[in-house]
Structure 1
Amino acid sequence: MTILTRRTALAATALAALTLAVPGLAQTPQIVRIGVSPGPHAEILEQVKPLLAKKGIDLKIVEFSDYVVPNQALDAGELEANSFQNQPYLDNQVKDRGFKIVSVGLTVNFPLGIYSSKYKSWADVPDGASIAIQNDPTNGGRSLLLLQDKGVIKLKDGVGFKPGPVDIVANPKKLKIIEVEAAQTPRTLTDVAAAAINTNYAVDAKIEPTSAILREDPKGPYVNVIAVRAADKDKPWVKTLVETYQSPEIKAFVAERFKGNVLAGW
């Protein structure tokens, strides 16, 4: 080994030792900005955050009040990931808006409910009553499918996961279906007989999910997902994020914190 080579090797060794000894010279954590809706999604990721910090990832949780902006922000590069939507909703967004976004891991399931501040059971809801549902195709369609599953309405055959009010072919109670933004559905309870409310918005509005007068079967395609840009899906931080979310620690937290109102989907 030449003197120059020996000196270079010694310098590299000294620099490595200095980097380990001095915190300020340690490797900078990978910053991952993840968009979420308020409520359980945000709460769960607050538990994921310190676990990721131990693995060199600084998770920045960014809350959004609707279901549209998180995908726009992700596609535009303002986020690295989001965690707020189920697969049918993501598929619809990709188809309609051309987002280059893919799901990379399952998170939790929020059984959808129909709630009322006026009636204690569905049987008490009168004919001709107004029912609020979400105005986006996936969540609104999900609510109509719930009403059909409970025998309240009948939809056209072959409507898939995204039926709209125009697809109702039988409505014995002559219900009036009113479409509003998903985030606003809890606020409609004072104005309508009942409203379909996603569980995360119910929890955020201090509505107990078990108080629903109709509730969706938790089985089905509505497990939520972590989404990233297609170009990032194979990056190491994505694998670390998903594995950490799907860890035994997070599954135990979901079970204890939400008491069956939110279900681990992995």
Structure 2
Amino acid sequence: MVRTTTLTAALAATAALTLGLTACGTASDPKPSGSDGGDAALTVAASATPHAEILEYVRDNLAEEAGLDLDVKVFNDYVLPNTATESGDVDANYFQHRPYLDDFNAKNGTHIVPVVDVHLEPLGLYSESARALADIGPGDTVAIPNDTTNGGRALKLLDTHALIELKDGAGQDATLADIADRKGLTFKELEAATLPRALGEVDAAVINGNYAIEAGLNPEKDAFAREAAEGNPYANFLAVKEGDEDDPRIGKLAELLNSAEVRAFIEDEYQGSVVPAFGAPRD
């Protein structure tokens, strides 16, 4: 059965209330019905692109033969998938990388854990007005994601390409306060999902790969600067609430997401804009 549901920001208030009631729970809280395996549908929250697209490929081409009933719910932000997983409204999620999850758990008292890495979306620097990286300089405004981990990731990218200089020792959670030399640039911190729409209002923006793709941008062709894939700690993974890692349905999905068929789908569908990054999550 084909089932894909889109949940928008209209559910934010409900999710926030749910989190308020559940954030004090622990991994020993009762699991939702069916989470111990069996024939119940496995509901996974995901960002639209490429996460839901990859899950839909699995659902439509691989899941039935594996005995998995997969239900994909599409979310349009980086908060609700985790709060819905914590509360048990969904069984798992697929949208985030380890630095973001670690920061989210610490700030929200949630208990989400990674299961298996699937892909990497290289972060890129885009502009509607500049023709080359060298055109971006003093007096220009650059927009970056306003969440801690992706903001630091963006600053690292700018530092790597000499648009700014970070202080010695600035790590993956670098902030604007860690910039030693802005080289004349002004920064605007915005929610990651809004960055493609802001391109017309700023001189350049550092955009997450999934949002770039949704906006019709190709990270491989359109970005002036792009993260390297090798050794990158920002692989996106399947995640569950702690205690649900051994759910047989999760095991089936994890295996399918790391299959040769999914590798071929990612490589053919995204042509380098999304890169397979299979294996156990980094600590």
Shift of 1:156: 2.3
Rounded Cα–Cα distance in structure 1 between residues aligned with 2:269 and 2:84: 29
Partner of 2:110: 99
Greater helix proportion:
1
Is 1:78 paired with 2:89?
A: yes
Which TM-score applies when normalising by structure 1?
A: 0.87
Shift of 1:148: 0.8
Runs (4+) off by over 3 Å: none
Rounded Cα–Cα distance in structure 2 between residues aligned with 1:185 and 1:213: 16
Shift of 1:120: 1.4
Partner of 1:251: 263
Partner of 2:66: 55
Q: Equivalent pairs: percent with the same residue?
A: 41
- Maintained 8 Å contact 1:119/1:125: yes
Partner deviation per Cα, 1:50-101 (whole Å, 9 max, x = no partner) = 3122222211111111111111111111110111001111111111111111
Equivalent positions of 1:169-248 (< 5 A) are 169-172=180-183, 174-209=184-219, 210-219=221-230, 220-248=232-260
| Structure 2 CA distance for partners of 1:126 and 1:158, relative to 1, 3 Å | closer
Equivalent positions of 1:134-173 (< 5 A) are 134-172=145-183
Letter in 2 for 1:53: E
Shift of 1:151: 1.4
Aligned residue for 1:128, secondary structure, equals coil
Rounded Cα–Cα distance in structure 2 between residues aligned with 1:53 and 1:228: 22
Pairs aligned (count): 239
Letter in 2 for 1:72: T
Which TM-score applies when normalising by structure 2?
A: 0.82
Structure 2 stretches lacking a partner, 5+ long: 1-37, 279-283
Partner of 2:41: 31
Bigger Rg, structure 1 or 2: 1
Aligned residue for 1:75, secondary structure, equals helix
Rounded Cα–Cα distance in structure 2 between residues aligned with 1:157 and 1:53: 52
Rounded Cα–Cα distance in structure 2 between residues aligned with 1:144 and 1:207: 20
Rounded Cα–Cα distance in structure 1 between residues aligned with 2:42 and 2:85: 11
- Maintained 8 Å contact 1:30/1:56: no
